[in-house]
Amino acid sequence: MTHLEFTNIYEAIYESAPDGIIVVNERGSIEMANAKTTSLFGYTKEELLGRSIETLMPDRYNQSHRQHRAAYYAKPHARPMGTGNSFLGRKKNGDEFYIEISLSAVTVQNELFILAAIRDVTEKKIVSNRLAAQDHKLKEQNARLLNFAHVVSHNLRSYSGNIKTMLEFLENTESLSDRQTLMQHLKKMANALHETVDHLSEVVTIQTTNAERENILLHQYVEKAVASLKGEIINSHAIINNRVPPEAVINVNPSYLESILFNLLSNGLKYRDSLRQPIITIEYTTDNNKKMLRVSDNGLGIDLKKFRPKLFNMHATFHGNRDARGLGLFITKNQVEAMNGTIEVESEPGVGTTFTVQLR
pLDDT tens-digit map of 346-358:
999 999 999 999 9
Residues of the chain with pLDDT under 50: 203, 205-209, 324-325
In this structure, are 259 and 147 located in the same domain?
Answer: yes
Q: What is the DSSP letter of 335?
A: H
pLDDT confidence of residue 358: 93
- Does residue 193 sit in the same domain as residue 108? no
My answer on whether 114 and 151 are in the same domain is no
Most distant CA pair in the chain, distance:
117
Contact 298/276 with Cβ under 8 angstroms? yes
Domain total in the chain: 2
Cα 189 from Cα 228, distance rounded (Å): 5
- 343 and 213 part of one domain: yes
What are 53-112's pLDDT values in tens digits? 999 999 998 888 888 888 888 888 887 765 656 789 999 999 999 999 988 988 888 889
**Domain identity same for 281 and 164:** yes
Which CATH number goes with the domain that contains 239?
3.30.565.10
Residues 24, 107 within the same domain: yes
- Whether 97 and 122 have beta carbons less than 8 Å apart is answered as yes
3-class DSSP assignment, residue 257: helix
**pLDDT (0 to 100) of residue 337:** 84
The whole domain housing 173 covers 129-359
pTM for the full predicted model: 0.47
Q: Do 174 and 312 share a domain, yes or no?
A: yes
What is the rounded distance in angstroms from the CA atom of residue 237 to the CA atom of residue 231? 10
Phi-psi region of 237 (alpha: psi -120 to 50; beta: other; left: phi over 0): left
220 plus 95 within the same structural domain: no
Do both 143 and 58 map to the same domain?
A: no
Of 89, 120, 151, the position where a domain reaches its end is 120
Q: Where are the alpha helices (DSSP H) in 204-217?
A: none
Identity (one letter) of the amino acid at 46? E
Q: Any residues with CB less than 8 A from the CB of 285 and at least 6 apart, and which?
A: 291, 292, 294
Query: What residue type is 119 in one-letter code?
Result: R
Q: Same structural domain for residues 212 and 315?
A: yes
The answer to whether 268 and 234 have CB atoms below 8 angstroms apart is no
Helix (H, G, I), strand (E, B) or coil at 320: coil
Residue type (1 letter), 83: T
314-344 per-position pLDDT tens digit: 555 555 555 544 567 877 888 888 888 899 9
